[in-house]
Amino acid sequence: MKQSTWLRPMLIRAACIMALTSCVSLWINAADAAPVYAGWFRHSEKITGAWTFEEIVGDPNQVLIKSTAATTEQPKQVMVLYPKRSSAYDIAISKILDVFASKNMAIEFRVINFENNDGLGAAVLDLVEQENFDLIFSMGSQSTAWLHQYYRNGATPVVTVCSKDPVALGHIDSYDKGSGTNFAFTSLNMPTEVQLAYLMDFLPGLKNLGILVARNNISAVRTQAKPMQEAMEAKGVNVLYLAVQDPANARQELGRQIDDALIEMRKIDPALDHSMFWITGSTSVFREIATINRHAGPAPVLSAVPEVVQAGDDSAVMSIGISFESNGYLAAVYGYDVIMGKARPGNLKVGIVSPPDIAINFRRARAIGVEVPFSFFESANYVYDYEGNPVRLRGRDLTRNAGS
């Protein structure tokens, strides 16, 4: 086999620490015990009937997923590269599996957590090429950045999932044309100017915006926090940049920073009638929504992540963005078309879900005395009522058949 140009000598040496192929045939049934991969890989229980999930003896960083569809065809092979554990990935992979289950095709997914390690990543790419995988799903911005650096123009197509704006990150020049390589990009981001317009419509006359982000989440900083800061400041809005330094200490940092931000906000907006906080796609930040709400007081909390709006009180008032599920669906469609030869990855434009997903929690809105414009309610895919209960999910009205 001809050696690929992406494999640098450093990666060859590092790859020796991992022999992914040595135990491919050693599978165990983990039905009666928590699988060894449970610490980083999870999925929706709704899809279990269509798939089997198998672990590899002695390797907690891999899981093999096989379709239960009855077919005699040789299964397509898909590699899914994770950089770490994330609840966002749980949602996205569940949607991807749901889409492929509907295709009733012979297919296997190998999911590997390479832990952002160059050596482990190089070994994954060796496995991909040695076993002639049909597709790689790049899960998360970190996996995408790594693959783009070391596997651009590689032999196997790559479709990105749960990855932020590839144009802002420098992976591709334009939204309107394909990469011209083996990469097909999807994006978790709305264009900044579109997001800004929604925020300004929600709270006309906005004076203060607190942007919440994790400093180490480079993709969120570069594609969400900084562009929004610049756009808002250009509109004359006072922007307070609240960056978590240590994700392990996010709760304490957020409480302190929000308290300090409110002092500054009140200097130009004493009643906080024209102030809000906006949460970026930083997991260590948005998982602390209860802390954020407790300290934000009467200032509404919005997010770019629809999943931050949930049932009950631990929720943002509203989110406008692209959900992990919607992005996973689009990535699955791209991946299916590539696998079936319907599309070349390099010809596919950046996949951006439009219109965006809007989620509203009226219980949170009432708790802080803020009104949600009716136009947002009309467009919302996810709505929780004044009791915090879901009444619209994925655009489906849950009240229509209630009591029938």
72 plus 108 within the same structural domain: yes
Do 285 and 339 fall within a single domain? Answer: no
* pLDDT on residue 3: 42
Amino acid identity, position 297: G
Tell me, what's the pLDDT at 31?
41
pLDDT exceeds 80 at position 234: yes
Sign (positive or negative) of CA dihedral 321, 222, 205, 362: positive
Statement to judge: residues 184 and 199 lie in one domain? no
Is residue 87 domain-shared with residue 206, that is, in the same domain?
A: no
Q: Which of 230, 253, 228, 251 is nearest to 242 (CA)?
A: 253
Residue 134 lies in a domain: yes
- β partners of residue 160: 138
pLDDT at residue 2 greater than cutoff 60: no
Statement to judge: residues 317 and 336 lie in one domain? no
Instruction: For residue 364, tell me if it sits in a domain.
Output: no
Element (H, E) at 79: strand 76-82
Which residues lie across from 136 on neighbouring strands?
Answer: 79, 158
Coil/strand/helix, residue 129: helix
* Residue of 275, 266, 267 lying closest to 302 (CA atoms): 275
Count of beta carbons in the 10 Å neighbourhood of residue 339: 20
Residues 215 and 317 in one domain: yes
Tell me, yes or no, whether 126 lies in a domain: yes
Mean pLDDT estimate for the chain:
91
What pLDDT score was predicted for residue 137? Answer: 98
Q: How far is CA 201 from the centre of its chain?
A: 25
C-alpha dihedral sign at 137, 140, 145, 149: negative
What would the pLDDT profile of 144-199 be if each residue is shown by its tens digit? 999 999 999 999 999 999 999 999 999 999 999 999 999 999 999 998 999 999 99
317 close to 151: Cβ distance less than 8 angstroms: no
3-class state of residue 254 by DSSP:
helix
* Amino acid in the structure at residue 228: M
Query: Do 278 and 211 meet the contact criterion of CB atoms below 8 Å apart?
Result: yes
Contact yes or no for 16/119 (Cβ under 8 A): yes
Count Cβ neighbours within 10 Å for each residue of 304-316 and write b for 16 or more, e otherwise.
bbbbbbbeeebbb
Q: Do 116 and 207 fall into the same domain?
A: no
For the segment 80-136, what is each residue's pLDDT rounded down to a tens digit? Answer: 999 999 999 999 999 999 999 999 899 999 999 999 999 999 999 999 999 999 999
CATH number at residue 337: 3.40.50.2300
Is residue 29 in a domain?
yes
Q: Both 57 and 155 in a single domain? A: yes
Q: 334 and 240, same structural domain?
A: no
Average pLDDT value for residue range 284-288: 96
Q: Are residues 185 and 198 both part of a single domain?
A: no
Q: What is the DSSP string of 356-392?
A: PEEEEEHHHHHHHT-PPPHHHHHH-SEEE-TTS-EEE
295 close to 278: Cβ distance less than 8 angstroms: no
Whether 23 shows a pLDDT value over 90: the answer reads: no
pLDDT in tens, 333-370: 999 999 999 999 999 999 999 999 999 999 999 999 99
* Number of C-beta neighbours around residue 272 at 10 A: 18
How would residue 48 be classed by pLDDT, with cut points 50, 70 and 90? confident
Which pLDDT score, from 0 to 100, does residue 57 have?
Answer: 83
Domain match, 24 and 76 both: yes
Strands 318-321 and 301-303: parallel
Q: How far is CA 296 from the centre of its chain?
A: 25
* Whether the predicted pLDDT of 22 surpasses 50: no
> How many domains does the chain fold into?
2
Cβ-Cβ contacts under 8 Å for 262 (sequence gap 6 or more): 272, 295, 296, 297, 299
Distance CA 146, CA 117 (A): 10
Choice among 8-12, 191-195, 206-210, 320-324 with the minimum mean pLDDT: 8-12
The rounded distance, in Å, linking the Cα atoms of 269 and 21 is 61
Q: What number of CA atoms fall less than 13 Å from residue 348's CA on the CB side?
A: 26
Instruction: Kindly state whether residue 267 falls inside one of the protein's structural domains.
Output: yes
Inside any domain, residue 342: yes
Q: Does a structural domain hold residue 110?
A: yes
Residue 177 belongs to a domain: yes
Q: Are 274 and 203 in contact (CB under 8 A)?
A: yes
Query: What are the tens digits of pLDDT across the range 9-19?
Result: 444 444 443 44
How many residues in total does the chain contain? 404
For 250, the domain range is 192-321
Q: In the prediction, which pLDDT does 401 show? A: 60
Residue 74 CA neighbour count, 13 Å, CB half: 4
Residue 29 shares a structural domain with residue 177 = yes
